[in-house]
Amino acid sequence: MVAMNMIQAIRSAMDVMLERNPDVLVFGEDVGFFGGVFRCTEGLQAKYGRRRVFDTPIAEAGILATAVGMGAYGLRPVVEIQFADYIYPATDQLVSEAARLRYRSAGDFTAPLTVRSPYGGGIFGGQTHSQSPEAIFTHVAGLKTVIPSTPYDAKGLLIAAIEDDDPVIFFEPKRIYNGPFDGHHDRPVTPWAKHPASEVPEGYYRIELGKAAIVRPGEAVTVLAYGTMVHVALASAEEAGIDAEVIDLRTLNPLDIEMIVASVKKTGRCVIVHEATRTSGFGGELSALVQEYCFHHLEAPIVRVTGWDTPYPHAFEWEYFPGPKRVIEALRQTMEA
């Protein structure tokens, strides 16, 4: 076991898979010589060569179209979209080609590709470097969507994504690349080295897609979160002194509905936290599912804490960001209902 931050864990996952499987390729804008804008691929080109780790033009649609073709011919491309905000030009290739290939070919072809992309705010990236578009892809049949919250999960989930025979969108919360973030932006950053989930095996291991994790057991209220918001939810529960059960979803599609239902039936209350805009965000789907499966067990209305329905503002970053103040208000609201 080695202490790693998220960047190192993600790099380690790709290193392991490049070494284990000659069909794995890594490419995208600046991922080769430069090692990626966040250095997630640093050193991989020097180790595996320019035929397996290489740079591409600034053309997201072309990057994904190439990956779909490679996957159909038996390769396992791992492509990086430099920021999630730039994924929209590639959406047609993901939705109309990658996600449909198995179905339209009656199983003769698949698209075993993984799309890595940093997402979310908290780094003053403004409206074009802070978006959270995960709900778009959870709506698409044939795509899987994964969002880790710790280095240990990041490596195990990324290995599972690369080995999956279907296309996987792997969003990396860039605010927690270097340390867990509890939402208190005015406090010093805590490095991952002080967190137990930074202990990561150097070699191969995988975490099954579609399995959530209870990161804080509780009896009073269920909190559903993913990515950076897992750490905000944990901090909020502690500060509020509420016996909340915090579930890290880890994968949004496939979703571990069994764990969610069991928890909400136990607690009778549910708070959903995500950074993306509220309207048509993934929290709406979670709310509908909880209502559908747990209606007779609910003791209070489901509460959502989300980003606002505006572009991500640069000057008002922390007013937009769903921090502990807003999450604590939601927890107290549902407990008092």
Q: Give kind and range of the element (H or E) at residue 293.
A: helix 282-294
Q: How far is CA 112 from CA 10, 36, 159, 170, 319, in A?
A: 18, 22, 12, 13, 39
Q: What angle separates helix 324-336 from helix 228-240, to the nearest 10 degrees?
A: 60
Q: How far is CA 292 from CA 23, 59, 287, 297, in A?
A: 43, 42, 9, 11
**Selected catalytic residue, list 60, 80, 172, 275:** 60
Closest CA to 27 of 57, 47, 72: 57
Q: Map residue 119 onto helix, strand or coil.
A: strand
Which DSSP string corresponds to 237-257? Answer: HHHHT--EEEEE--EEES--H
> How many angstroms separate the CA atoms of 103 and 270, rounded?
36
**Selected catalytic residue, list 29, 80, 97, 129:** 129
> How many angstroms separate the CA atoms of 112 and 302, rounded?
37
Residue 129 annotated as catalytic: yes
Closest CA to 303 of 221, 181, 212, 214: 221
User: Catalytic amino acids?
Assistant: 60, 129
